Amino acid sequence: MRDHPAGIRAVVLDAVYPPQVDLYADGAQNADRAFEAFFDACATDSACDAAHPHLGDTFYSAVASLDERPLTIASSVSDDEWSVDGLVLIEYLFDRLYLTHVIPSLP
């Protein structure tokens, strides 16, 4: 925007992130904080905790298992296959935490 201000008529800010913060350097810490908040929320909800006791431990165990033996998922409509390892599970859950209407269905 600073380099070519004459070519800009309008700007939409999707999210506000302070310019002094390195989004990528803080990403892991932010994800960890989001996961812990999610797991803590489940632990304090009696129905969620009863259905999914120790949700955080279960999640991290699943991540470790997928890192050791990734799943291969085949497409039902093409010859494509995808490998699902621990990082894919972490990224999937982290992305879902942005969708507040989806969060109750996650555990």
- Along the chain (107 residues), what's the average pLDDT of each consecutive run of 10 residues? 87 77 83 95 96 96 98 92 96 93 89
Angle between helices 55-68 and 27-44 (to 10 degrees): 130
Please report the pLDDT score of residue 33 as a whole number: 94
Distance CA(42)–CA(39), nearest Å, equals 5
Distance of CA 83 to the CA centre of its chain: 17
Distance CA(58)–CA(47), nearest Å, equals 17
Predicted TM-score (pTM) of this structure: 0.73
Neighbours of 39 (CB within 10 A): 20
